Structure 1
Amino acid sequence: MAETEVEGGVVVYELLGPEDGEVVTVTPGGRFGKDYPGVRDFAEALARGGKRVLIWDRPNTGASDVQLYGRSESHMRAATLAGVVERLDLGPVVALGGSGGARDSIVFAIEYPELVRKLVVWSIVGGAFSSMSLASVYVLDEIRAVRRGGIDGILALRGRAGNWSDLVAANPRNRRRLLELGAEEFERVMWRWFEAYVPKANEAIPGVADHEIRGIRVPTLVVRGGEEDIDHPKRTSFEVHALIKGSRLIDPPWPEDAWERAQEARDAGRGSIFDPWMEAVPTFLDFIDEPSTPNEPNGTSR
């Protein structure tokens, strides 16, 4: 485990696999860090395939510093990933991301195209239900808590996406960082980040305009959403595929109900929501190893 500083905050990361392997960045969803069950196993499987894999604690996850800036939380995380890649001289990289990590990786490819060679995204959030659901997970409780109890209210919050008190336990600097930020600025950022989750006709995914996604020019693999996955709708994966010229859409390498069954397994203490990702490793490695052919007509692979 190592750390570097980006935008005034410490970012904790690890590099797995051979030093001469092609660099792949792995970004999970939620406010979950690199040590959340399932993430490391997935990264290690990619590393066994010969890749140099970057796993990292995004701001507001794991042991990294709390950060609150940017147009949205995904834009902040994309800027952070760019900073890590540049400081470690890793780019251009293959960016892999699932769920919230798919959104982070898409923004990364939009904002920092010179750092991205290929893009692989799955379990993409979009549409009214899943976007509004994310607002309740990431910002609405925070707004209520900070208005009622200030930063102490935030530290006492027990959220579904991870607790701010856990971030302090993992990194004691975070209490001071939150206190120095103050309740007024914390609330101001939460209101700005909330705006990203308000459904808009011109945004296939929260907080990212369709015309921005159309600007992605790297070879892109999009995994179709599961038939019954209301958190990562099938429709959204088709929309993202349609927006990225030359992208490839594939059926999920896992069962159609994998997300629902993984949540059940997690809640029963029998696994992680990210366990199904392991089934995609061979497919992802094959795509990474293909010669790059950007800007081809959109095609669907079954």
Structure 2
Amino acid sequence: MSSVEINGGIVVYEVLGEEDGIPVVLTPGGRAPRGFLRSLGGLLAEGGLKVLIWDRPNGGESDIQFGDRWPTESHMHADTLQQLIKHLGWGPTVVVGASAGARVSIITALEYPEITRGLFLWHIAGGIYPTLALGNAYIVENITTARKGGVEAVMELPHWKQRIEQNPRNKERFEALSSEELISVLKLWLSAFIPTPGQVIPGVRDDELATISAPTAIIRSGENDEEHPLLTCYSVHALIKGSKVVEPPWEEDAWEKAFANTLKTGGPNNAFALNDKAAPLILDFARTTGPGAGA
């Protein structure tokens, strides 16, 4: 495990594989920690890639980070990621992400094309129901809690309580925020999760998506995936010129089964176990993308 200070906060990360491998960064869904992609990262490292897995600010062991300099939390994560890649001294990197990680990866490719060798995505969230659900899950509960009980009450929410347990610095970072400041930032970030015409991806305009020039591959969503609609998948494909859609390496209803089990048991989302099956697709994409591809 390594760490570096970026934008005034500590970011925790690991690098797997050989130094001379093709550089790849993995970003998971939700606010999940880097450990959810360590198994996939190990498979890619065994295949000869150099793999970065990281804890985004507000997830895992990294410091929490709130600020109105970024229009969304995903933009903050993309900014952090590009600085992390430059800190490592890497050149253009294959940027890989699922669900919320796909959103971060898209924004990274959009705003920082100089560090994006290629873009590999799956479980892309979009559409009315998923977008509203994300806004509620990431933002609304925190605003409501802050209004009722201040920052102290927010710190007691399960996600943030775990961030403090894993990283005691986060207690002081929360205590340095006023309720008004936290609510103001959260309201700004909430605006991305209002379904808006011309925004297939929350917080990203379609005309911006159309400017992405990095080679892009998208694993097709399941036909009945309510959280990552098939329409969103193909809309992103249509907007990113030259992108390709590949068939999923898991069963058609794999996400639905995993998510339903999570809702039933209340346990962790075992849909993350699907990620390892994407390893052969990512290896092939990385080897055929960017400088020296096919050499």
The TM-score by the shorter chain falls in which range? Answer: over 0.9
| Aligned mates of 2:217, 2:290 — CA distance in 1 | 12
Amino acid of the structure 1 residue aligned with 2:274? P
Q: Does residue 88 in structure 1 map to residue 88 in structure 2?
A: yes
| Aligned mates of 1:237, 1:41 — CA distance in 2 | 25
| Aligned mates of 1:18, 1:271 — CA distance in 2 | 31
Moved over 6 A (4+): none
After TM superposition, list the pairs within 5 Å mapping 1:180-259 onto structure 2: 180-259=176-255
Whether the 8 Å CA contact 2:155–2:174 is kept in 1: the answer is no
Whether the 8 Å CA contact 1:10–1:65 is kept in 2: the answer is yes
Query: Which residue number in structure 2 is paired with residue 299 of structure 1?
Result: none
CA deviations on 1:43-66 (whole Å, 9 max, x unpaired) are: 111111111100000000011000
Amino acid of the structure 2 residue aligned with 1:85? I
After TM superposition, list the pairs within 5 Å mapping 1:1-302 onto structure 2: 1-36=1-36, 39-69=37-67, 70-158=70-158, 163-266=159-262, 268=265, 272-292=270-290
CA deviations on 1:233-284 (whole Å, 9 max, x unpaired) are: 0000100000001101112121111112223455656972211111111111
- For structure 2, which runs of at least 5 residues remain unmatched after alignment? none
CA deviations on 1:37-89 (whole Å, 9 max, x unpaired) are: xx111111111111110000000001100001211010000000011011111
Q: Secondary structure at the match of 2:270?
A: coil
Structure 1 residues 190, 291: CA separation in 2 closer, same or farther (over 3 Å shift)? closer
Query: Which residue number in structure 2 is paired with residue 297 of structure 1?
Result: none
Amino acid of the structure 2 residue aligned with 1:175? K
| Aligned mates of 1:132, 1:64 — CA distance in 2 | 27
Q: Secondary structure at the match of 2:178?
A: helix
Q: TM-score, normalised by structure 2?
A: 0.94
| Aligned mates of 2:145, 2:289 — CA distance in 1 | 50
Amino acid of the structure 2 residue aligned with 1:220? T
C-alpha RMSD of matched pairs (Å) = 1.5
| Aligned mates of 1:75, 1:52 — CA distance in 2 | 24
| Aligned mates of 2:178, 2:90 — CA distance in 1 | 35
Amino acid of the structure 2 residue aligned with 1:96? V
Query: Which residue number in structure 2 is paired with residue 300 of structure 1?
Result: none
- For structure 1, which runs of at least 5 residues remain unmatched after alignment? 294-302
Aligned identity (percent) is: 44
| Shift in Å, 1:91 | 2.4
Q: How many residues align?
A: 287
Whether the 8 Å CA contact 1:262–1:275 is kept in 2: the answer is no
Whether the 8 Å CA contact 1:21–1:52 is kept in 2: the answer is yes
Structure 1 residues 271, 76: CA separation in 2 closer, same or farther (over 3 Å shift)? closer
| Shift in Å, 1:292 | 4.3
CA deviations on 1:71-125 (whole Å, 9 max, x unpaired) are: 1010000000011011111121000000000000000001100000000010000
